[in-house]
Amino acid sequence: MATVPNVVGMTLEQAYKILNQGESFRVTSKGKSFCRVTKQEPAAGQNLARCETVRLCCMVQVPQLVHTDFAQGLDKLKELDLFGKQLATAYQGDVVFSQNPAAGKWVEVESIVSLMPGLAMPDLRGPFTEARRILLQAGMLGYLNNVRSIPTAGGTNGEVTIDWQSIVPQTIVPRSRLVRVSGSWTTGSAPDSRCGCASFRS
């Protein structure tokens, strides 16, 4: 018989070394060497026959993933023996908009960390057709909030120019976020507020 030592608070690597000294105990656990031991069975101080099993429960600290590359964030979780759960479709170049649990929290090995993908809000100021193209490419939806008329001498139809958007460019947002825009056009008659674009609604 041998007394089970206290390994709670140690890394898994340290715990294995102590428990395996003199081939005293068998050890079962989940996680990598850097995981932190939070519970052991049997508890420290109990007597156990040599070569009997000590079971260890381990936790890891959730890393900071917000605003980092989304694909790399999933890889990082896998390295820590955590499961990443996508809350929406992610595209190449996306970043992490939000995560749950938050960075710094200790969770059990093989826990789920939910990630919401996002992207840097593009700058939509300029020709409406270009703003439409940008939003279509980004998979986002825009709302044409207001268009001011700037009459021209000839009254010829011109193109709407976007000069304001509700979300500041480069702000990290999820694709589901609706962006409102307004602008002006140089024309003698009012344009279709939808501007023939599925990515905008009015």
Q: HSE on the CB side for 60, CA within 13 Å?
A: 22
pLDDT of residue 71: 96
- Say which amino acid occupies 47: N
Are 11 and 37 in contact by the 8 Å Cβ rule? The answer is yes
- β partners of residue 99: 115
pLDDT digits (tens, 9 = 90+) for 60-103: 999 999 999 999 999 999 999 999 999 999 999 999 999 999 99
* Domains, the chain, ordered by start: 2-60 (3.30.10.20), 62-119 (3.30.10.20), 121-201 (3.30.10.20)
How many angstroms separate the CA atoms of 172 and 170, rounded?
6
Q: CA angle at residue 18 from 17 to 19, to 5 degrees?
A: 95
How many angstroms separate the CA atoms of 170 and 18, rounded?
51
pTM: 0.78
* DSSP helix/strand/coil, 154: coil
Closest CA to 58 of 108, 112, 18: 108
How many angstroms separate the CA atoms of 59 and 107, rounded?
5
Q: Mean per-residue pLDDT for 131-150? A: 82
Tokens describing residue 152: 């021209």
Q: Which helix (H) or strand (E) holds 158?
A: none
Which distant-in-sequence residues (6+ apart) come within 8 Å of 153 by Cβ?
A: none
pLDDT of residue 183: 86
Q: If pLDDT is split at 50, 70 and 90, which confidence band does 139 have? A: confident
